[in-house]
Amino acid sequence: MGNCLTQRAALPAIALAVALSATYAAKAEVGVTDTTITFGQSAALDGPAAALGSGMREGILAAFAEANSNGGVAGRQLELKSYDDGYEPERAISNVQNLINQDKVFGLIGAVGTPTSKATQPIATENAVPFVGPFTGAGFLRDAALNNVINVRGTYGQETEAWIKHLTEDLGYDRIAILYQDDSFGRVGLAGVNKALEKRGLKLVAEGTYKRNTTAVKSALLAIRKAKPQAVVMVGAYKPIAQFIKLARKTKLGATYVNISFVGSKALAKELGKDGEGVVITQVVPFPWDGSIPLVQRYQAAMKAHDAAAEPGFVSLEGYMVGRIAIMALEKAQGDLTRQSFLQAVADTGSFDLGGITLNYGPGDNQGMDEVFLSIIQADGSFKAVQRLGGSS
């Protein structure tokens, strides 16, 4: 079982609540009291993917703190209980079982990763527990039959299609290789790339893999270098990806490097340092520095109020959006607050305006956004949004 972090986000001073009556307690939904609603999270809070879990957690906490400072949801304060799974499925299973059976949380929120979500979503579904905002674009979570799953982001298939579209149309490339994590996450990305290439009558010129939670990428680099690719598309987390790019630049592999959103953009840029310039990353949320978007303004203010030292980033913005959709669904739930009324609120409402960004749900559609954005790391480690590769905008 991972380490547990429990936090009621920035609670205002409140009087001690009157104890629940035995009758009310018998009727109350799991994870709900007259003063609190508790969500649970299993995510990587340590190890090579720690920045991803921590970023999601901080974004969710900022959203919860913002709501709590305004009285919570119908007078109830939002709490988040987080366990570290180290980005390992077996630990995630143990954490989720503990959250559901012992901690008695209302719902699960902000899971991180395809292999961990693949291991834990069935547990949540079997127990009719809401599974909100997993940080993965895996297609299996978009199954119309999964009525307890609420996705925010676009799919990895949409990202990989965007990669190949821009590499072939903007740059005219036809020699594309792939580096991917050798597990369910990486293979989802591989399948998406192959599909996008096949549509254009192309095939990968080389493949390289590495083992999850390692940075052992040398053999992958050797395999890919032989093919002399014009671009290497990459499906992995920031530490091994950074290691690969650094080694590739040392060996003068003059390729364009394109990454999936899950990589953790800020963490990757930090790991790469001077080697990051020109690295491409697709994003599935708006730029967290774009103050022209009301959602981003609100996110920045919430993050600053929650943690004055926090810096904006793609991962924490996604976490904030996940927190916001959970809050809005709680607010729209009809009658007594139950897991079912919460999920029904999403289905019945359909469209959620977060402030310049709208999440749309409908019959058989549990994914809020479809947009994919291009970003490129600059020499100083910052990010630039672009409409096309090789262009000025």
- Give 60-82 as a DSSP string: HHHHHHHHHHTTTBTTBEEEEEE
Domain boundaries, the chain: 4-154+290-360, 156-283+373-386
Residue 26 pLDDT: 41
186: its two tokens: 């990486």
**Is there a contact between 171 and 153 (Cβ–Cβ < 8 Å)?**
no
Residues 6+ apart with CB under 8 A from 341: 333, 334, 335
Residues 6+ apart with CB under 8 A from 153: 135, 136, 137, 261, 284, 285, 318, 367, 368, 369
Residue keyed to tokens 């959006």: 321
Superfamily (CATH) of domain 156-283+373-386: Response regulator (3.40.50.2300)
Residue 4 pLDDT: 75
Do the domains 156-283+373-386 and 4-154+290-360 match in fold?
Answer: yes
Report field, pTM of the whole predicted structure over 0.85: yes
The 3-state DSSP class for residue 338 equals coil
Residue 200 pLDDT: 98
Residues 6+ apart with CB under 8 A from 137: 153, 154, 155, 156, 157, 158, 159, 188, 260, 261, 262, 284
- DSSP 8-state class, residue 160: H
Residues 6+ apart with CB under 8 A from 160: 189, 192, 193, 195, 196, 233, 260
Q: Which fold has domain 4-154+290-360?
A: Rossmann fold (3.40.50)
CA distance linking residue 375 with residue 173, whole number of Å: 19
Residues 6+ apart with CB under 8 A from 21: none
Amino acid letter for position 153: R
CA distance linking residue 237 with residue 242, whole number of Å: 9
CA distance linking residue 305 with residue 307, whole number of Å: 6
Residues of the chain with pLDDT under 70: 1-2, 7-27, 391-393
Residue 251 pLDDT: 95
Residue 240 pLDDT: 97
